[in-house]
Structure 1
Amino acid sequence: MDLIRTGLIRTGLIPAPRVALLDGDGRRFAFGPEPLLDSGPGTGSVARWLRRELGAATGWSLPAAGPGAGAGAAAELRLRINPDAAGDRGPESYLIDVGEGGAELTGATPAGLFWGAQTLRQLLGPDAYRKAPLPGRTWSLPYTRVADGPRFGWRGMMLDVARHFMPKDGVLRYIDLLAAHKLNVLHLHLTDDQGWRIEIRRYPRLTEVGAWRPRSRWGHRASPLWNDTPHGGFYTQDDIREIVAYAAERHVRVVPEIDLPGHSQAAIAAYPELGNTDVVDTAALGVWDDWGICENVLAPTEAVLRFYEGVFEELLELFPAEVSPFVHVGGDECPKAQWKASPAAQERIRELGVDGEDGLQSWFVRHFDGWLAERGRRLIGWDEILEGGLAPGAAVSSWRGYAGGTAAAAAGHDVVMCPEQHVYLDHRQAGGGDEPMPIGYVRSLEDVYRFEPVPPKLSPEAAAHVLGAQANMWTEVTQDQDRVDYQVFPRLAAFAEAVWSWQPAPEERDYADFEQRMAAHYPRLDALGVGYRPPGGPLPWQRRPGVRGRPIEGAPPNV
């Protein structure tokens, strides 16, 4: 077979693999009406996925090759695990060989094999993403050799289900969408001022009260409009177990976030004793119906620590360490006005000997840093948690640009890069007036494609602490699945390439090539039912005329 290094555009593979060789003569292997599947040891979960997902689209049952398959029958699709296949590409690497005998997928691990199956699905064409076979459809693959593996081990997306609740089926759908793009972390932002979304059995009011608000502001917090429909919802503990198991089968880790000591009004509304009762009538507080930074924060007491230890005890049971060792504690945007006004908080500062109100915030985070470490877990939080120092095992989500991540990595902490200026997918995609509820910086598909997770100033030793990156999707103005889809796609495809593929410097990347591959990828998104932003701008029903967003005043023209 004469293979040549070419044809990423022809195959439309996203993210781009390290090596993709295509037959120079354009030959293809045509599958028969009922292909046999030869699944070697350790490949059972990927075989099940192929039978379920490809079976739905093709009508294949993919019976097992073997003695009962019939005389002379040979498997047209073969799955293998071979650690030696990794080479220098890491444990999530895979190989695909397609020739006259069919297709063979080899993974260094089950995860690598699963990512190879995602590439196989892309090679089969967009109809491989449908839920039922189309009449008269036949299936073939180009003679191909793909050798691939990811650049980073943390390739994630943060989904904010606290501001606007996404029902469980929507979360499962997003796990599939992440997996289709070879992303392997779903960070679930489960609590905030506007809602508490996870059942904690010892504290039932967290969901009885904290999961519901009477109304929501429609648009940015400066908008005069309101949606007076009550909003809420939460995941039962069995829902969470299902989400975690569903994700694990697709080699996606779910990282839960419980925010503290700020972003906590929903919890205070449910249990008023958690707040600063000497300066605020916390019994009168409800779940917050507005956006922005709320002044109501947790009281710095031992009782509050015990309460949240109870929350985390149940959380750790729902998110086993083998699935994800990390627990996110937020730790960001904590206003200090109530602590400054509170005699009890001021006395606490003196008792603890901390550096003022900032020291109280650090005290909260450091307590749970140690508490989680004692239980074999690792704390991760937004980059504000650097203030006051961290234990060696803690990690940082760098959202306020690169600076926090640079400082954390230089100090020996692991870092997940998610700078607001580059990968906040709630930010608008163009500067035109048609963008629905425009928020923040303009970050186009090309901008996200050129995102570089490793700051250039890092030494090689510090750069080794960059675990990877994630794109963050905050949902204040994305009230349902269609709006989330519009903000996330197609930019998540560009982000996936930034964290998977071994890329040159951002300014040297071939965006024209990526655009042409995206032309092949849009039909896949169509088949999956993703309501992405079209390249030409929003469709009429995707706009929100007259609803105020948040362009940044005084900023350069592109933000």
Structure 2
Amino acid sequence: MIWGMDHLLPRPRVSESTPGVFEFVPGSSVSGPAALVDAVRLSLAVLDLRPAEAGADTAAVRVVEDAGLGPEAYEIEITAEGVRIAAGDRAGAFYAGQTLRQLLPAEAYRAAALPGTVWAVPCGRLADAPALSWRGAHLDVARNFLPKREVLRMIDMLALHKLNRLHLHLVDDQGWRVESRAYPLLHEIGSHRDQTTTSYYREEPAFDGVPHGGYYTLTDLAEISAYATARAVTVVPEIDVPGHASAILAAYPEFAARPADTYRVLDRWGISPAILSPLPATVDFLTTVFDEIIGALGDVPYFHIGGDECVLDDWAASAEISAYQEKLGLATPADLHAWFLRRLADVLAERRSRAVVWDEAFVSGMLRQDTVVMPWRGPQVGRRAAAAGHEVVATPVFPMYFDYAEAASAEEPLAIGDTITLADVAAFAPVPSEWTVEERDRVVGVQFQLWSERIPDGRTLDYRAWPRGCAAAEIAWSGAPVSECFTGRLDAHLVRLDAFGVEYRPPAGPRPWQRGGSGWRRHRPGVVDVQEMMRHLHELTQSADSTRPSTSS
């Protein structure tokens, strides 16, 4: 089957069909600058295109660089004689290849070419460029660890949807997930827990009794980064501090606000009062850890430092910390929280990396101006951050938290709450029209979140991420709610995902083996409701110094 240009997802800005097709034959070649040729070949790996010989002018695909098109932009012209690609940069060439892949039969998404497949694409012209520079997915590997193979596969999924940021949540109360050679107890102790809670909200505590853990070596991180870079994806590591620190303090309690306390890697969900001390020794410790991660990943343009859901009681109760706060001329523990995050942002800036934070870190108004803010509590706080001059990546609970169920039904597998549907995601406007021009210009992207309390494995990850992630990819690329005919284009795209082996949630509902069943993995509809959550978040955002929200991210 030859797909038409009206079956592409995300939908390109310009697509014009003309009569005829171009057919790739065995031994087809691609010519152009080496980096761009490599990008196109990677996108179209199933065709086994070979680089054209020097001076040859008969390549099936000819690639040229046109910086005037802008970052990630491309144009494609397909005639019966061949394909011409003009790309603004390597990423643009890679995305041009991904668009050609969608025009090929769905067999282009299988791991090997099937005999007898006709590799033909329709003739016509396409021109495309993204509206937003940050098109991301957040993957929490701290609550439930995912092996490296799942991270690499997630990168593949982002790449084929033209998503370009993988935000890796590497630490939380329930686990530390990266090797540290300077502080080895982080991965030796902090990377595993004895068991995991199976309780749902307000139920009697229950646990599975099964040890859980895992971490990535620094070499693994280097591999993940190289794999992502080749596919136009930037890895954004997150070390969430100063709260969510139980796993860190289980390994190194001397960095706690109360060093005498005994800490352990948590086996339950929710917010812990465990918090790092803001004293200089902690900054030095985190600087060393940052350096290890940056050294492994290579170029790290963005580094997320969290800043969310911090219980500051231990700071207020510590005479040493209070004296340090007074020495710095700060009035409250909340001001010290802001100072601490700014100090870490300065450390990152010295390493040519920009800090990214959750929105609680913004409310003090003390951030570095180049810090990127992720307003998870909604557009109200996001607008305040944009008005203050910060770049903003839209990450609201509704509708971009994909750990929520897609239906209020007991047939769903266990989720954190009800209900964020495919239609909710498709209708989301990441750049609110009611904002001022200046505020809208500071919305640099949108990102969906996969918090993993209820995502124990790769199959569940597929189910939660797709096809809602398909809608997220389209709104991220266009900067607006999905365009017309999305449902028809999605239907065609799901055939591609079938070929790729994605265990997505069918729009009509879960398959029999995807249902929650009758055990603890069954969803409890109505226990946590999205509208209830949004009312609560609205209340939280009314206070400019809200530092202790009680909802879990």
TM-score (norm 2): 0.90
Aligned residue for 1:527, secondary structure, equals helix
Tell me the residue number matched to 2:281: 303
- Contact (CA 8 Å) 1:218, 1:477: kept in 2 or not? no
Q: Cα–Cα, structure 1 residues 74 and 435, in superposed 2: closer, same or farther, change >3 Å?
A: same
2:177 to 197, 203, 214: 197
Residue number among 362, 367, 379 corresponding to 2:338 in the alignment: 362
CA contact (8 A) 1:8 1:20 kept: no
Equivalent position to 1:15, from 3, 10, 18: 10
Matched, 1:457 2:452: no
Q: Distance in 2 between matches of 1:141 and 1:277?
A: 64
CA distance in 2, matches of 1:502, 1:195: 35
Partner of 2:223: 242
1:303 Cα deviation from its structure 2 partner: 1.8
Match of 1:120 among 100, 112, 136: 100
Question: Is the counterpart of residue 213 in structure 1 residue 193 in structure 2?
Answer: yes
SS in 1 for 2:51: coil
User: Which residue does the alignment assign to 2:109?
Assistant: 129
The aligned residue for residue 258 of structure 1 is: 239
Mapping of residues 217-296 of structure 1, within 5 Å: 217-218=197-198, 220=200, 222-223=202-203, 224-277=205-258, 281-282=261-262, 285-296=263-274
Letter in 2 for 1:539: R
**CA distances 1:327-369 after superposition (whole Å, capped 9, x unpaired):** 1100000012333333433333333332322123212212112
CA shift in 2, pair 1:221/1:201, >3 Å:
farther
Cα distance, 1:147 vs structure 2 = 0.6
What is the match of residue 392 of structure 2? 415
Q: After superposition, what is the alpha-carbon deviation per residue over 1:422-479, rounded to whole angstroms, capped at 9, x for unaligned?
A: 2111111112221111323411111111111112332112221111111111001100
**3-state SS of 2:167 partner:** strand
Q: Deviations over 1:194-246 (max 9, x none)?
A: 11011111000000000011111125454544222111111111100111111
* Cα gap change, 1:244 to 1:549, in 2 (>3 Å): farther
CA contact (8 A) 2:155 2:233 kept: yes
What is the CA RMSD across the aligned residues, in angstroms? 2.3
The alpha carbon displacement at 1:54 in A equals 2.0
Mapped pair 1:75 → 2:59: yes
CA gap of 1:543–1:337, structure 2 versus 1, over 3 A, is: farther
Q: Is the 8 A contact 1:431 1:558 kept in 2?
A: no
Spell out, residue by residue over 1:285-312, the C-alpha distance to the aligned partner (whole angstroms, 9 max, x if none).
2111111111111123222222112111
The reply on whether 1:102 has 2:102 as its aligned counterpart is no
Name the CA distance, whole Å, in 1 between partners of 2:258 and 2:190: 18
Which residue is equivalent to 2:30? 37
How do 1:48-87 and structure 2 match up within 5 A? 48-50=41-43, 53-55=45-47, 61-66=48-53, 74-84=58-68, 86=69
Check if 1:331 corresponds to 2:318: no
| 2:433 aligned counterpart, secondary structure | coil
Matching residue of 1:374 = 350
Equivalents in 1 of 2:211, 2:98: separation in Å?
40
Aligned letter for 1:380? V
Is the aligned partner of 1:147 residue 2:142?
A: no
How many pairs are equivalent? 528
* Contact 2:40 2:97 (8 Å CA) reproduced: no
Q: 1:31 Cα shift? A: 2.5
1:208/1:557 CA distance change after superposition, 3 Å: closer
Residues in 1 aligned to 2:341 and 2:526: alpha-carbon distance in whole angstroms: 32
How far apart in 2 are the matches of 1:68 and 1:412? 50
Q: Which amino acid aligns with 1:82?
A: D
SS where residue 54 of structure 1 aligns? helix
* 8 Å CA contact 1:441, 1:558 repeated in 2: no
| Match of residue 424, structure 2, among 437, 440, 447 | 447
The Cα of 1:188 is off from its aligned counterpart by 0.5
Residue 384 of structure 1, aligned match among 329, 339, 360:
360
CA contact (8 A) 1:198 1:235 kept: yes
Aligned-residue sequence identity (percent) comes to: 42
The alpha-carbon distance between structure 1 residues 374 and 74, as it changes in their structure 2 partners (threshold 3 A), is closer
* 1:423–1:472 contact (8 Å) kept in structure 2: yes
Equivalent position of 1:395 in the other structure: 372
The offset of 1:97, in angstroms, is 1.1
TM-superposed CA distance for 1:554, in Å, is 7.2
Instruction: Give the SS at the match of 1:234.
Output: coil
Corresponding residue for residue 534 of structure 1 = 506
Task: Report SS of the residue matched to 1:106.
Answer: strand
Give 3-state SS (helix, strand or coil) of 1:537's partner.
coil
Give 1:449's aligned amino acid: A
**CA–CA separation in structure 2 for the residues paired with 1:502 and 1:261:** 33
Query: Per-residue deviation at 1:10?
Result: 6.0
Give the direction of change, closer, same or farther, for the CA distance of 1:190–1:549 in structure 2 (3 Å limit): farther
Cα deviation for residue 529 of structure 1 reads: 1.1
Give the gaps of 5 or more residues in structure 1: 1-6, 56-60
2:247, 2:177 → 1: CA distance? 10
Contact 2:78 2:123 in 1 (8 A): yes
Partner of 2:538: none
Residue 166 of structure 1 corresponds to 146
Amino acid across the alignment from 1:172: L
| Letter of the structure 1 residue corresponding to residue 83 of structure 2 | A
Secondary structure of 1:226's counterpart equals coil
